[in-house]
Structure 1
Amino acid sequence: MSTINYSEKIPNNVNLGEDRTLQRALEGWQPNFINWWDSVGPEGSINHDVYLRTAISVDPQGWAQFGHVKMRDYRWGIFLNPGDAERKVHFGDNKGEKVWQDVPGEYRANLRRIIVTQGDTEPASVEQQRHLGLTAPSMYDLRNLFQINVEEGRHLWAMVYLLHKHFGRDGREEADALLQRTSGDQDNPRILGAFNEKTPDWLAFFMFTYFTDRDGKFQLAALAESAFDPLARTTKFMLTEEAHHMFVGESGVSRVLARTAAVMNELKTDDALKVRAAGAIDLGTIQRYLNFHYSVTIDLFGADQSSNAAIFYSSGLKGRYEEGKREDDHQLKGQTYKVLEVKDGQLQEKEVSMLNALNEVLRDDFIKDSVAGVNRWNKVLEKAGIPTRLTVPHKAFNRQIGALAGIKMSPDGRVVNAMEWEARKSEWLPTSDDFAFVASLMGRVIEPGKFAGWIAPPVMGINRQPIDFEYVRFG
């Protein structure tokens, strides 16, 4: 069914009321979720009425409605894309068989691991962003932050539903643990490294939503190919919501660049100190933030060679990005792919089994997509007559996972020694001075239609509303 039933305590389109045991279990988890939201969700927001979009259908046409709602009262729920009774497994060793509606016993542990890892990222980003509302550069941006927060909460619900419905006691315990880990916690951190990093300011937030939510797009798209049909149907709908998160990142950085370019043109200078003194973020700082978030995000794809990736693919659990559009046998046995390694102090390519290199395949797809957006940022600078261009660093730069972990590499792809790395690291990655400067700009601006001096207004408002619309009503 595509319509979502909002008459139930947990809105859903999966006929939850017909499975009383499952419904009771999820209704038992719901208060824990609300407690988590109250304790580590958006700080100081409990009385705000926010102009949010809420899913009312999984039909791509008119799937959401907009209106002011308190975030704590947001109708989080469980929404799956419609099923296809004829759908077949279209990659791996089970290619051609009917997709699975239940978890095959031999794949149970791996499927649970995939779902838990994806589920863990969703509350993590809410925790990372919880303080940002206190320094929002505008009411428009504050609303966008809150929209992302509530949708990450719903994506957590999506994974918790699968754990409860398909994994019995183990699944219920894993669902509880998703609310017990906390981003950056020394004793019980989130599973993936990038989700334990701080998001200290709005430039970091825009970079996070551009790069790290883009990782989410590629991971969800790979899971949307899964032979486990409930997972595929769940992640397909999550992708509909994820698109907004990447838009916030891309447009946010574009607006920062537009303001910086305007200040540079007003002052007729590219001197970073003069640009900073005028209250804008200099291009060097923006490039260093980009380098950091890009390199941390490409680590999320995992090791460049992975037997787990091969197993997940051959088993039909996780495909490639846009698997159906690829022209090969969709089994990949005997096929190879090039990965990087450092040998005798030099970076070089080597051919490895494609099945073992599927993390690298997905990473390269992500890189291509990311570069396209950075090129769009450069159009902002070009249009303003600024000759500087942003670049993504080499994919071996600042890596902490896989064969490239710990390699000292310059952003332009040179292997450097430890001395040069230490001497030039402050040119390549954000420094404590950069963070302190950006933090100094982070005063809260919440009057409708007003914007902080370091960021330009958007081209248009949300859902055809004017830019000075009251997107957040403060209780």
Structure 2
Amino acid sequence: MENLPNTWEEWISNFEGWQKRVGFDPSWLGDFELSVLFDWERAGDTIEFGDYKGRRKWERALQVPQQSMRDALITMITVQGDTEFASVEQQRHLLASAPTDFDRYSAARIMAEEQRHGWQMAYLLMTYFGQQGRREAQKLLERNAQDGDRLLGAFNIPMPHWLDFFCYTMFVDRDGKFQLGMLSTSAFKPLAASMGPMLKEEAFHLGTGFNGLRRIVKAGVIPLDLLQRYINKWVSTAHDLFGVDASSSAHWAYVWGVKGRWDERKKLEAG
């Protein structure tokens, strides 16, 4: 591994190199600021479920009781960050063929927010998880969807058409919304606090997909059987991302308190 960063500033320098390699012009970000955002109030102070329920949420990795739990957190953060950068690699070329100026703006904004989400996950790895975290943060910039070596298969699938993009943001980003929601009650407070701002930004991605498909159906130009093929392609892909019902990793993540259920707080309030 080359250029293993020791500081956040060094990682940012490597990130700028990644932008150049994938062909993303930073000027496309416009006035969007890549930054690290937390909502500490929404994250809460008390572990909400699992074996450690009622204790204070962990604010540092060394407060996490077991190495296996720290490893699980690193994996979750790494996978989330990997999907964010992969999405940019999948979508970047579509900016050159946008159907309208609004679509180009929407796609550029989504890619900007995906990069910010990747930043957020890299910051957690760099700041809280020592050398192992720094190594994983660098790997986020070394894997590439175009080479097919991103961690999840859905994020290596080529996206040659805007129909792919609208279906992707409608369905795959919906899985992303659920994933962020389940992490928003994590016992690891910096991870939980990262989710609030990310969820707010994710809403625009879902809206872009919905509005794009609505416009296509309303225009009546693309044959419905062709549109159905794209929907089938991305719905099945998104469904796979939800995993399986009997998941040992999901079981232990809940027992440890590091990843909850969708609408965990509502479920707890309902008893």
Same fold (TM over 0.5): yes
* Aligned equivalent of 2:18: 36
The 1:180/1:211 distance shift into structure 2, 3 A limit, reads same
* Aligned equivalent of 1:418: none
Q: Distance in 2 between matches of 1:193 and 1:320?
A: 23
Q: Deviations over 1:318-350 (max 9, x none)?
A: 0001111115898xxxxxxxxxxxxxxxxxxxx
Q: Distance in 2 between matches of 1:305 and 1:184?
A: 32
CA contact (8 A) 2:89 2:146 kept: no
* Aligned equivalent of 1:375: none
Q: Write the mapping of 1:433-448 to structure 2, written as runs, cut at 5 A.
A: none
The 1:89/1:137 distance shift into structure 2, 3 A limit, reads same
Q: Deviations over 1:40-90 (max 9, x none)?
A: 144xx5665x6xxxxxxxxxxxxxxxxx54xxxx42111101347962111
CA contact (8 A) 2:169 2:206 kept: yes
The 1:28/1:326 distance shift into structure 2, 3 A limit, reads same
* Aligned equivalent of 2:171: 211
Q: How many residues align?
A: 263
* Aligned equivalent of 2:231: 290
Bigger proportion of residues as strand:
1
* Aligned equivalent of 2:192: 232
Q: What is the SS of the residue equivalent to 2:186?
A: coil
How far residue 301 of structure 1 moved from its aligned partner, in angstroms, is: 1.7
Q: Deviations over 1:175-224 (max 9, x none)?
A: 000000000415xx000010010111101100000111111100000000
* Aligned equivalent of 2:120: 158
The 1:225/1:327 distance shift into structure 2, 3 A limit, reads closer
Matched, 1:182 2:144: yes
Name the amino acid aligned to 1:308: S
Choose which of 134, 156, 169 in structure 1 pairs with 2:96: 134
Q: What is the SS of the residue equivalent to 1:159?
A: helix
* Aligned equivalent of 1:123: 85
* Aligned equivalent of 2:55: 97
Q: Distance in 2 between matches of 1:83 and 1:41?
A: 37
Q: Write the mapping of 1:264-303 to structure 2, written as runs, cut at 5 A.
A: 280-303=221-244
Q: What is the SS of the residue equivalent to 1:130?
A: helix
The 1:85/1:237 distance shift into structure 2, 3 A limit, reads closer
CA contact (8 A) 1:41 1:126 kept: no
Q: Distance in 1 between matches of 2:265 and 2:248?
A: 23
Q: What is the SS of the residue equivalent to 1:215?
A: helix
Q: Write the mapping of 1:383-422 to structure 2, written as runs, cut at 5 A.
A: none
Name the amino acid aligned to 1:281: I
CA contact (8 A) 1:221 1:235 kept: yes
How far residue 24 of structure 1 moved from its aligned partner, in angstroms, is: 7.1
> Runs of 5+ in structure 2 lacking a partner?
none
The 1:84/1:249 distance shift into structure 2, 3 A limit, reads closer
Q: Distance in 2 between matches of 1:86 and 1:127?
A: 34
* Aligned equivalent of 1:145: 107
Q: Distance in 2 between matches of 1:232 and 1:33?
A: 24
How far residue 31 of structure 1 moved from its aligned partner, in angstroms, is: 1.4
Matched, 1:88 2:46: yes
Choose which of 128, 133, 144 in structure 2 pairs with 1:171: 133
How far residue 155 of structure 1 moved from its aligned partner, in angstroms, is: 0.3
Choose which of 32, 35, 53 in structure 2 pairs with 1:77: 35
Larger radius of gyration: 1
Q: Write the mapping of 1:337-376 to structure 2, written as runs, cut at 5 A.
A: none
Q: Provide the TM-score with structure 1 as the length reference.
A: 0.53
Matched, 1:113 2:105: no
Q: Deviations over 1:378-431 (max 9, x none)?
A: xxxxxxxxxxxxxxxxxxxxxxxxxxxxxxxxxxxxxxxxxxxxxxxxxxxxxx
The 1:200/1:226 distance shift into structure 2, 3 A limit, reads same
Q: Distance in 2 between matches of 1:145 and 1:137?
A: 11
Choose which of 206, 211, 232 in structure 2 pairs with 1:246: 206
Structure 1 segments, 4+ long, off by >2 Å, are 45-48, 82-87, 327-330
The 1:255/1:311 distance shift into structure 2, 3 A limit, reads same
Q: Write the mapping of 1:15-30 to structure 2, written as runs, cut at 5 A.
A: 25-30=7-12
Q: Distance in 2 between matches of 1:86 and 1:322?
A: 15
Q: What is the SS of the residue equivalent to 2:238?
A: helix
Bigger proportion of residues as helix:
2
* Aligned equivalent of 1:55: none
The 1:185/1:86 distance shift into structure 2, 3 A limit, reads closer
Greater relative CO, 1 or 2 (CA 8 Å, sep 6+): 2
Q: Provide the TM-score with structure 2 as the length reference.
A: 0.92
